[in-house]
Structure 1
Amino acid sequence: PWVYRADQPDPLTAVQPGARLFAAPDLADHRELARYAIVRPDQLDRTRPRHDDHWVRELDAAQVRRYGLLLAAVLQAARGQGRDIRAIACEILSTQPCPIQRVLAEHGLGRFRITQKADLTDPADVYRGENARPEDWIMLGNHDTPPVWHLVDRWQAEGTARAQADYLATRLVPDPAERDAWAARTAADAGALVQARAADLFVGPAGNVLLFFTDLLGMRELYNRPGVISPENWSLRVPVDYARIYRERLGRNQAINLPLALATALRARGLDAVRPDLVQQLDQLASRSAAEAAG
């Protein structure tokens, strides 16, 4: 948790110099937090800001267990009910601070990988699909992010759609000689770019895919604007006639075509040679769904 002083009247001024509750063993401006510290002073990287993922450099096994005490109780309860812990999803609201990473690894749990947040200039960025782990949950966005359809409009307006397509080409187009032309076509077509973004989720290695309803249904409205107080936040709902809306948008290539995404991902992994029958069936289903929607 990120904590800050309650005696500072301005909220922003209070939040910025805050600290992580269990990682403030000797901070001069937060001496009250020392008694809660799990981390030792020598385990901090003071060249980094306190909110940085690597503010805590390392932890020993006992410290990892202390950090994960509550999660361990949840997992024990789940196992007691015969649940598979792989069904437990852990939403990481920031990137991934060291203590969280260590606790999840200790229990074999995955994290959320929101691909729209990926830094395409950083090969090690945690939101890039290729950096996910099999236990992770990967998604285009969630309740706190803009729908991918909203983003594609922005990418095209800002001139960054080509960079998105170039990256996706490395994930989806096996033949390097074909990537440039594919990226040019995809960047120019908002629907194609979204379909490629969706296919990227299924390439792996993440073993769990989550699609937020706004992305699936081709909606551009925002579900929530984090940090903004608004009566519109958390009020968006799946339309009552969602099936009709989905079919209509699918016919215009303005909703995610799941069979197309799956077929594209299988080809990207070279599995069309292993299961040509499956890829052919997905192709037919994708085309039929789009044609029926258009008709």
Structure 2
Amino acid sequence: MDKLRSMAVFVAVADTGSFAAAAQAQNLSAVMVGKHIHQLEAHLGARLLQRDTRKQRLTEIGESFLEDCRRILDQVRHAESVAERLRHDGQPSGRLRITAPVTLGGNAVATVVTEFLQRHPEVAVELVLSDRMSDLIAEAFDVAIRIGPLPDSDHLVARPLRPYRMIVCASPEYLREHGTPSDPRELVDHSCLNHLLWNHDAGWRFEHIAAEPLRLRGRFASNNGEALRRAAVAGCGILLQPEVLLADDLAAGRLLPLFAEQLPPPRPVHLLYPRDRQPLPKLSRFVELMLERMGPAA
């Protein structure tokens, strides 16, 4: 097996915490992930992972080897970027791998990607949508879009994008039939559309009204934001969802916003990419376009 590939698989296992998650991240079967790990352990003559029926953890040798793998993979990526830069004489070209959260990526980032492809015909893009935190180096991503606070890192550049805002809204038909609430606390008397992936005990949080979240009920819930959006447009209830998912409906008047001054606080969004002394043109041009379309001043 390719030793560099095995190192990347090992890093993915360490970062994700399981063979199954690493297999998904590396586009391999769990059996093949196990073969890569066994090969590395046989080559080193030492156990890298201590495994039992419920969990696994790095051995002392595994922890040391993990840091070496990260450094080696980073050096390989840098060497490849230098070669690509020289080969294409400064023009954007090659493959650009991007990871982004599902809702933000599918609704906003994908739009920027299509514009980027039209501008740069020599570039191919892979956009991987997942709410899992991907490892840029181990999974060979060039760019990541992340929602929420970021840990400190000396290896990544973080560029701020527009904050991730949540919107409460309903269709004009629903509001005509059931009335328009003037205060979030009145939502207890309405049918609310809930996302099944949210913690049911967490409730809907609002600024300036109460320390505790509102625990709201309704006749329809789903694990898919698009399904909830369609239900809201059809007049099935009041919706709390990301602004990026609702922007077209709000602009067209199919949904009307509520509680503009009492919305949940927005979450920070950043574009991340590995720190290089001279980024490849494909990366530099994509970052520029993302900041132009989704930056704080956009």
TM-score by length of 2: 0.32
Q: Which protein is richer in strand relative to its size?
A: 2
| Structure with a larger share of its residues in helix | 1
Normalising by structure 1, what TM-score?
0.32
